[in-house]
Amino acid sequence: MKILIKDGQLIDPSQEINEVRNLLLSDGKINGYPSDTKELEMDSSVQVIDASGKVVSPGFIDLHVHLREPGFEHKETIRTGCLAAAAGGFTSVVCMPNTNPVNDNASVTEYILLKARTEGVVNVFPVGAITKGQKGQALAEIGEMREAGCVAISDDGRPVMNSRVMRHAMEYAKAFELPVISHAEDLNLSSDGVMNDGFTSTILGLRGIPNASEEIIVARDITLGELTGTHLHIAHVSTAGAVRLIRDAKKRGVKVTGEATPHHFTLNDKAVLNYDTSTKVNPPIRSREDMEAIREGLKDGVLDIIATDHAPHTEDEKKVEFDLAPFGISGLETALPLALRLVEDRILTLTELIRKLTFNPAQIIIRSNRGTLKPGAPADVVIFDPNKTVKVDRDKFFSKGRNTPFHGWRLSGQILYTIVGGEIVFSA
Partner 1 sequence: MVFEQKHILGLEELSSDEIRLILDTAESMKEVSERDVKKVPALKGVTVVNLFFEPSTRTRASFEIAEKRLSADVLNFTPTESSVVKGETLLDTARNLEAMGASVIVIRHSMSGAPWLLARELSSSIVNAGDGFHEHPSQALLDLFTVREIKKEISGLKIVIVGDILHSRVARSNIWGFIKLGAEVRVVGPPTMIPRDIEKVDVKVHYNIENALEGVDIVMMLRLQKERQESGLFPSLREYSRFYGLTRERLGLAKADVIVMHPGPINRGVELSSEVADDMHSVILNQVSNGIAVRMAMLYLVASGGGSG
- C-beta of 39 vs 321, nearer to partner 1: 321
- C-beta of 40 vs 187, nearer to partner 1: 187
Give least dist CB 402 to partner 1, A.
Answer: 15
Give least dist CB 245 to partner 1, A.
Answer: 22
Residues whose CB is less than 8 angstroms from the CB of residue 343 and which lie 6 or more positions away in sequence, other chains included: 349, 350, 353, 386
Burial of 362 (0-12, 13-18, 19+ CB in 10 A): buried
Give least dist CB 271 to partner 1, A.
Answer: 14
- C-beta of 255 vs 270, nearer to partner 1: 270
- C-beta of 319 vs 391, nearer to partner 1: 319
Measuring CA to CA, how many Å separate 152 from each of 103, 128, 365?
12, 6, 7
- Examine the residue annotation and report whether 309 is marked as an active-site residue of this protein: yes
Exposure string over 207-228, b if 16+ CB within 10 A, otherwise e: ebbbbebbbbbbbbbbebbbeb
In whole angstroms, what is the distance from residue 134 CA to residue 155 CA? 7
Q: What angle do CA 384, 362, 23 make, to 5 degrees?
A: 40
Give least dist CB 246 to partner 1, A.
Answer: 25
Measuring CA to CA, how many Å separate 57 from each of 74, 294, 305, 373, 426?
33, 25, 16, 7, 15
Q: Which one of the listed residues 197, 309, 316, 380 is annotated catalytic? A: 309
Provide φ and ψ at 62, rounded to 5°. -105, 110
Give least dist CB 323 to partner 1, A.
Answer: 4
Could you tell me what percentage of the chain is helix, strand and coil, using 3-state DSSP and rounding each to the nearest 5?
35, 25, 40
Where on the chain is the footprint of partner 1 (CB under 8 A)? Answer: 197-199, 201-208, 274-275, 316, 319-324
- C-beta of 137 vs 199, nearer to partner 1: 199
Q: Mind telling me the catalytic residues?
A: 309
